[in-house]
C-alpha cells in the first residue's frame, strides 16, 4: 500500500525519523517536534498526529514503515468550497458533532444550556507499554474525552476506545458515542465484506463496493444479533485476492446494540466509525460521571482475506479468549436436546451418557427441561431449581454417573429470561424489561429480565454460583433466546432509562467474570438461538460459541466459511445431528456429517437412542480421528482453498499446525455432474522442504495414483486429486511431516 500521507501533509517538511523495532515487539512513540504518534506491532504501523488546529488527525494505517521513514508535521485540510468546511474533510481520529462537521461523527453531546456543539482539542497524552492515552477537551464546555490506543506486538491489531467525562456542575446528555473512527486513504477500488443473516441462516458473506453513501451495519436488538456481525473487512478489488493484497479489518467488542458505518467522505477517504448504536440511545452524565466505550479493534494484512483471517484468529486466541493466551482445546461434546427435548429425567440421561461415552465423548451436556415446572417452553424459565419429579435425588446421581464414565458434566441455562408462568415472575413482575402500563411483548413465551438492575444482577449471580457450587458442573451452555422489546427501566428517571442499553451488558460481563473468578475451571458457551451473541466482548468471558441452530451439514459449510472470516475456529462449535436434518429434510451420510463438523469444535447432538451398531462404530472411528487432529483444526492456520461462496460444486479447507508438521484437508462435493474429473486441490501453508505422508482421515485408502509421501512443494504445486462421485460427498486427509 502506498503511504497514507493525507492531503494536509502534501508539501510539508517531513523530518520525523523512526527506528523500527523487532516486529515481534510493539513500539509506541511520540515525536514532540512533528507531534506525530506512531504505533508499530507485528508488521503494521498505525500513525496519527496533533495537527495545526490541535485536532487529532489520521496519518497512516498499513504495512510497517521502515527505518528512516518520516511522517509529519500534519495540517488540517482546508475546506472544500463553502459547503464542506475543514472540520468535515479533515480525517479526525474522534470527530465530534460541532464546528461545521457533516461527516459521520464519533461523539454527539447535548448540554444543559441547550448547546449541542462540541469541538475537541488536544490537551495531553501518556504512553504506557503498548499503548497511549490522549486527553482532549472541548474548547469551552466542561467535557473531557480520553482516547486510548493499544497495538498487539504479535499481530499489529490496534485497539481503540474512549472515556467520556463530565467535568462540569450540570448534567449533560450523550446522544452518540463511538469507540473510534478509522480512516483509509482515497482509492477507487475499495470493496467491503461483511456478514449478515437471520436465525438458522447466520454468517452469510456479503460484498459490495465502498462508494459514496454509507453502508451501516448494526444491531438495535439489545444484543449482538444474527442480522449483522460486528465485523468488517475492506480490500481492493484490483490487487486483493484470498491470499494476497491489502485487507483492513476490524470488529467491535460489544454484546449489546452496536453500529459500524463505512462511508467515503467528500474527498474520497474511507471512514469507518463504530461503537454504541445511537438508535434509542441517550446516556445522561451527572457532574463527575463518565461513560466508557467498548474497544473497537482493527488490523491490516497484505496477505489477502485469508491472511487477515489467520492474523485475527491468532489475535483472538492470544489476546481475547480465556486461558491467558493458551485457550484449552474444545472437548468432544454430546448434547441431549435432540434426543429428549424437554422430556429429561435421570434414567434417560444416564442411558444417553452411556451411549455417548461409548463413542469417545468427553463432555456430556444436559439441555433444557431439568428445572422448575419446565415441560415445555411455556413455563418454568427463571426457576433454577432441580425438578424433583424428574430428578428425585437431585443432579448428583447423574453427575456421578457421567464422571464415572470419564466425561465432564455440563448443563443448559438461560439466566437472563423468565416465563410469565414462573415463580420468579410471580414474585418479581417488575424485574422484566418493560414500560409500565404498556403491553409486554412475549417471544418464545418469555420476557427479558432487566439485568441492568443491581438486584436482578445479584440474584442471577447468586443462583448460578449456588448451582455450580452445589453440583460438580464443568460447563454451562448459556442461552439467550429472544431480543428486547419495550426497553423501559421504570426505577430510573425518564431521562436516565436509556442507560439500560449499556448497563445491561456491563452487568452481564460482571456476572460472567465473577463466575469465572469463583469457579476457575468452569467453562461457558455463548449461545443465542444460534449465533445471536457472538462478538469479541462475550468471547473474552466464554470458551466457545454456538454459531447457529441450523446443523444441516451442507448449510454449515458456507456458514462456517463466513464465520471463519471474522472469528477463530478455536471457539466454533459444530454438531453431528440426525439425518434427514430437521432444517431442510436433507439426507447425508454420517461420514459427511462428521467431516463437516470436524472443522471446528466437534459436538454430537443426534438421538443416540436411534443409532445402530454401525453408526456407533463410525462415530467412534471419527471421534478418535478428530482427537488426533483437533489441535491443528482449532488452533492452526486456516486456509479456505475452495470457498462454498464461489458458486461451484466443491469446497475445501486446510488447517495447518503452527509448526507446519501436520495439515488436515477437508474436501466436499455438493453434486456430481457430467462425469467430469475435478481439478486437483492445491494445498497452502506447508513447509515446501518437508516431506509429508498422506493418510485418509478416519481410516481408509488414499486416492489412487497419489504418492504415499511427497514434499510440501509437491502438495502445494501439484496438488491432490480427490475423486468424489454422487451428491453430498466428503473426504478428509491428514498430512504428517517426517
Active site residues per annotation: 479, 549
Between helix 396-404 and helix 346-358 the angle, nearest 10°, is 10
Answer yes or no: are the C-beta atoms of 496 and 487 closer than 8 Å.
Answer: no
How many angstroms separate the CA atoms of 239 and 304, rounded?
Answer: 9
How many angstroms separate the CA atoms of 52 and 275, rounded?
Answer: 28
Distance from the first to the final alpha carbon of the chain: 39
Each residue of 64-73: b (16+ CB within 10 Å) or e? bbeeebbbbb
List the one residue out of 277, 264, 268, 322 whose CA is nearest residue 539.
322
**Contacts within 8 Å (CB) and 24+ apart, 423-426:** 423/372, 423/382, 423/383, 424/382, 424/383, 425/382
CA 251 to chain centre: 7
Q: What are phi and psi of 119, to 5 degrees?
A: -130, 110
Listed in sequence order, the residues at least 6 apart from 155 whose beta carbon sits closer than 8 Å to its beta carbon are 41, 42, 44, 299, 311, 312, 314, 315, 318
Listed in sequence order, the residues at least 6 apart from 206 whose beta carbon sits closer than 8 Å to its beta carbon are 193, 194, 195, 196
Each residue of 106-121: b (16+ CB within 10 Å) or e? bbbbbbeeeeebbbbe
- At residue 437, the 3 state secondary structure works out as coil
Residue carrying C-alpha cell 468452569: 522
How many angstroms separate the CA atoms of 212 and 264, rounded?
Answer: 5
List the one residue out of 201, 260, 216, 209 whose CA is nearest residue 234.
209
How many angstroms separate the CA atoms of 334 and 42, rounded?
Answer: 39
Answer yes or no: are the C-beta atoms of 162 and 144 closer than 8 Å.
Answer: no
Residue carrying C-alpha cell 443416540: 608
Listed in sequence order, the residues at least 6 apart from 638 whose beta carbon sits closer than 8 Å to its beta carbon are 306, 309, 310, 313, 564, 569, 653, 654, 655
Q: Torsion angle of alpha carbons 452, 454, 457, 461, nearest 10°?
A: 160
Q: Which ranges of 392-444 would DSSP assign to H, the alpha helix? A: 396-404, 423-427
Beta bridge partners of residue 205, listed in sequence order = 195
Answer yes or no: are the C-beta atoms of 734 and 697 closer than 8 Å.
Answer: yes
- What is the chain's alpha carbon radius of gyration, rounded to the nearest angstrom? 27
How many angstroms separate the CA atoms of 124 and 157, rounded?
Answer: 24
Each residue of 600-638: b (16+ CB within 10 Å) or e? bbbbbbbebeebeeeeeebbebbbebbeebbebbbbbbb
Answer yes or no: are the C-beta atoms of 595 and 697 closer than 8 Å.
Answer: yes
How many angstroms separate the CA atoms of 252 and 295, rounded?
Answer: 6
Name the DSSP letter for residue 480: -
Number of neighbours of residue 36 by Cβ within 10 angstroms: 24
CA 509 to chain centre: 15
- At residue 485, the 3 state secondary structure works out as coil
Which grid cell sits at 167?
A: 467535568
How many angstroms separate the CA atoms of 125 and 56, rounded?
Answer: 12
Answer yes or no: are the C-beta atoms of 18 and 75 closer than 8 Å.
Answer: no
List the one residue out of 10, 8, 69 whose CA is nearest residue 38.
69
Look at strands 601-604 and 573-576 and give their pairing. Answer: parallel
Amino acid at each position: 500500500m502506498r503511504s497514507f500521507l493525507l492531503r494536509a501533509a502534501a508539501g510539508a517538511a517531513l523530518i520525523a525519523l523512526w527506528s523500527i523495532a523487532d516486529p515481534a515487539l510493539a513500539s509506541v512513540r511520540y515525536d514532540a517536534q512533528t507531534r506525530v504518534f506512531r504505533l508499530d506491532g507485528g508488521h503494521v504501523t498505525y500513525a496519527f498526529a496533533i495537527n495545526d488546529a490541535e485536532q487529532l488527525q489520521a496519518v497512516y494505517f498499513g504495512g510497517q514503515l521502515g527505518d528512516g521513514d518520516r511522517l509529519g508535521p500534519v495540517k488540517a485540510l482546508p475546506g472544500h468550497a463553502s459547503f464542506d468546511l475543514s472540520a468535515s474533510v479533515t480525517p479526525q481520529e474522534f470527530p465530534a458533532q460541532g464546528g461545521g462537521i457533516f461527516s459521520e461523527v464519533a461523539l454527539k453531546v447535548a448540554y444543559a444550556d441547550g448547546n449541542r456543539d462540541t469541538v475537541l482539542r488536544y490537551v495531553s497524552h501518556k504512553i504506557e507499554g503498548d499503548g497511549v492515552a490522549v486527553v482532549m477537551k472541548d474548547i469551552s464546555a466542561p467535557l473531557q474525552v480520553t482516547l486510548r490506543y493499544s497495538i498487539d506486538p504479535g499481530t499489529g491489531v490496534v485497539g481503540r476506545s474512549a472515556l467520556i467525562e463530565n467535568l462540569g456542575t450540570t448534567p449533560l446528555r450523550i446522544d452518540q458515542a463511538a469507540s473510534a473512527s478509522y480512516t483509509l486513504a482515497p482509492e477507487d477500488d475499495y470493496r467491503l465484506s461483511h456478514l449478515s443473516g437471520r436465525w438458522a441462516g447466520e454468517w452469510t458473506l456479503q460484498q459490495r463496493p465502498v462508494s459514496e453513501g454509507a453502508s451501516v451495519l448494526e444491531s438495535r436488538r439489545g444484543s449482538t444479533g444474527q442480522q449483522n456481525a460486528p465485523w468488517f473487512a475492506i480490500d481492493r478489488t484490483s490487487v486483493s485476492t484470498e491470499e494476497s493484497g491489502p485487507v483492513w479489518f476490524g470488529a467491535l467488542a460489544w454484546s449489546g446494540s452496536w453500529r459500524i458505518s463505512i462511508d467515503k467522505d467528500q474527498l474520497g477517504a474511507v471512514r469507518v466509525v463504530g461503537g454504541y448504536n445511537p438508535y434509542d440511545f441517550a446516556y445522561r452524565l451527572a457532574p463527575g460521571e463518565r461513560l466508557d466505550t467498548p474497544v473497537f479493534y482493527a488490523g491490516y494484512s497484505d496477505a489477502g482475506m485469508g491472511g487477515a483471517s489467520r492474523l485475527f484468529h491468532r489475535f483472538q486466541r492470544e489476546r481475547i479468549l480465556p486461558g491467558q493466551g493458551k485457550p484449552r482445546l474444545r472437548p468432544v461434546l454430546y448434547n441431549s436436546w435432540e434426543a429428549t427435548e424437554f422430556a429429561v429425567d435421570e434414567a434417560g440421561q444416564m442411558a444417553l451418557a452411556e451411549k455417548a461415552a461409548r463413542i469417545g465423548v468427553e463432555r456430556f451436556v444436559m439441555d433444557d427441561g431439568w428445572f422448575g415446572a419446565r415441560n415445555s417452553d411455556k413455563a418454568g424459565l427463571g426457576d433454577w431449581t432441580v425438578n424433583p419429579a424428574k430428578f428425585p435425588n437431585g443432579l448428583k446421581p447423574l453427575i456421578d454417573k457421567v464422571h464415572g464414565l470419564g466425561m465432564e458434566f455440563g448443563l443448559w441455562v438461560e439466566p437472563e429470561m423468565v416465563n410469565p408462568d414462573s415463580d420468579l415472575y410471580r414474585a418479581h413482575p417488575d424485574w422484566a424489561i418493560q414500560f409500565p402500563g404498556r403491553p409486554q411483548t412475549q417471544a418464545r413465551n418469555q420476557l427479558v429480565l432487566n439485568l441492568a438492575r443491581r438486584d436482578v444482577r445479584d440474584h442471577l449471580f447468586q443462583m448460578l454460583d449456588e448451582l455450580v457450587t452445589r453440583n460438580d458442573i464443568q460447563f454451562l451452555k448459556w442461552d439467550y433466546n429472544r431480543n428486547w422489546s419495550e426497553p423501559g427501566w421504570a426505577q430510573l428517571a425518564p431521562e436516565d432509562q436509556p442507560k439500560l442499553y449499556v448497563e445491561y451488558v456491563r452487568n452481564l460481563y460482571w456476572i460472567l467474570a465473577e463466575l469465572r473468578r469463583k469457579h476457575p475451571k468452569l467453562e461457558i458457551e455463548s449461545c443465542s438461538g444460534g449465533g445471536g451473541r457472538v462478538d469479541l466482548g462475550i468471547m473474552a468471558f466464554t470458551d466457545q460459541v454456538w454459531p447457529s441452530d441450523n446443523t444441516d451439514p451442507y448449510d454449515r459449510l458456507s456458514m462456517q466459511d463466513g464465520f471463519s472470516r471474522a472469528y477463530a475456529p478455536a471457539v466454533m462449535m459444530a454438531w453431528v445431528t440426525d439425518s434427514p436434518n430437521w432444517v431442510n429434510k436433507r439426507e447425508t451420510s454420517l461420514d459427511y456429517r462428521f467431516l463437516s463438523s470436524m472443522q471446528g469444535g466437534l459436538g454430537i447432538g443426534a438421538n443416540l437412542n436411534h443409532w445402530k451398531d454401525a453408526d456407533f462404530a463410525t462415530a467412534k472411528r471419527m471421534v478418535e480421528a478428530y482427537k488426533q487432529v483437533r489441535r491443528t483444526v482449532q488452533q492452526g492456520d486456516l486456509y479456505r482453498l475452495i470457498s462454498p461462496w464461489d458458486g461451484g460444486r466443491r469446497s475445501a479447507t486446510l488447517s495447518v499446525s503452527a509448526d507446519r508438521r501436520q495439515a488436515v484437508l477437508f474436501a466436499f462435493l455438493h453434486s456430481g455432474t457430467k462425469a467430469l474429473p475435478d481439478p486437483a486441490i492445491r494445498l497452502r501453508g506447508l513447509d515446501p522442504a518437508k516431506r509429508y505422508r498422506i493418510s485418509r482421515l478416519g481410516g481408509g485408502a488414499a486416492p489412487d495414483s497419489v504418492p504415499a509421501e511427497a514434499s510440501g512443494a509437491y502438495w502445494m504445486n501439484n496438488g491432490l486429486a480427490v475423486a468424489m462421485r454422487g451428491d453430498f460427498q466428503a473426504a478428509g486427509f491428514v498430512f504428517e511431516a517426517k
